[in-house]
């Protein structure tokens, strides 16, 4: 079955305090996004990538991917106003007749392992989907008005990517009109009437959002055994 990764990298550098979108910031002298692409190509030799970028940064994207031996297997498309629309733009580049497993991944989650990608693929083949998630480790409270109430953290899971689906499930789901509640692909698929299945994620699979995340990522690259 074909393997297609839709790498969503349409974000800005606002929370990072940078004029450059965070996916292009350097981590150990290499763009964050490049680590992500390298890991997906290392996971499967026949991986195809659809890279979703801000239209204003196509030139930077083209320059970056040409450093990869597999750059001819990368197609760049423009992102949208929301994550949903950016993913929808990436999926539009896939034929509805394609029989594939599709990975949708945050481009700035650059520390994931090839093992997680492979596990997501095999579970998606078996169950139709694989949504990486990790259990909450902090105490959780929910704020309602002026009152907060505790929530059992053993029942709370934090979603990660790559959220992985058979194309026959994901492509039809993204034909639905946008709703503000569509914050990830799992929610979209569930709204289409299809149940999703979790898979154990990785604690190092963080989303690079703030300057401290860059420090954590650098430390991980120096010594993965710490995580």
In this predicted structure, the answer to whether residue 209 has a pLDDT above a threshold of 70 is yes
Find all residues with CB under 8 Å of 1, minimum gap 6, and list them.
Answer: 99, 100, 101, 125
User: What pLDDT does 19 receive?
Assistant: 74
Residue 17 region by backbone torsions, left for phi larger than 0, else alpha for psi between -120 and 50, else beta: left
Q: Is the pLDDT of residue 10 over 80?
A: no
The pLDDT value recorded for residue 214 is 94
Tens of pLDDT, residues 180-204: 999 999 999 999 999 999 999 999 9
User: Can you give the pLDDT at residue 13?
Assistant: 56
Q: Tell me the backbone φ, ψ of residue 3, rounded to 5 degrees.
A: -125, 120
pLDDT, residue 194, reads 98
Tell whether the model's pLDDT for residue 12 goes beyond 70.
Answer: no
Q: What distance in Å separates the CA atoms of residue 129 and residue 147, rounded to the nearest whole number?
A: 37
Asked whether 23 and 35 are in contact (CB, 8 A), the reply is: no
Report whether pLDDT(114) > 90: yes
With cut-offs at 50, 70 and 90, classify the pLDDT of residue 137: very high
Whole-number pLDDT of residue 95 = 86
């Amino acid at each position: 079955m074909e393997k297609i990764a839709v790498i969503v990298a349409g974000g800005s550098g606002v929370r990072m305090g940078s004029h450059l979108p965070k996916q292009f910031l350097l981590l150990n002298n290499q763009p964050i996004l490049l680590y992500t692409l390298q890991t997906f190509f290392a996971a499967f030799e026949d991986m195809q990538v659809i890279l979703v970028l801000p239209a204003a940064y196509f030139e930077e994207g083209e320059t970056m991917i040409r450093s990869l031996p597999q750059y001819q297997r990368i197609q760049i498309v423009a992102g949208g106003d929301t994550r949903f629309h950016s993913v929808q733009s990436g999926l539009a580049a896939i034929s509805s007749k394609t029989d594939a497993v599709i990975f949708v991944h945050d481009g700035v989650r650059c520390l994931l392992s090839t093992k997680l990608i492979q596990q997501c693929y095999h579970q998606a083949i078996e169950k139709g989907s694989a949504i990486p998630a990790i259990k909450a480790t902090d105490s959780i409270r929910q704020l309602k008005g002026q009152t907060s109430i505790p929530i059992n953290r053993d029942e709370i899971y934090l979603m990660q990517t790559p959220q992985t689906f058979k194309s026959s499930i994901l492509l039809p789901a993204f034909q639905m009109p946008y709703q503000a509640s569509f914050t990830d692909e799992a929610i979209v698929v569930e709204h289409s009437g299809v149940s999703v299945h979790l898979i154990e994620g990785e604690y190092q699979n963080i989303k690079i959002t703030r300057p401290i995340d860059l420090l954590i990522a650098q430390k991980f690259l120096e010594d993965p055994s710490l995580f």
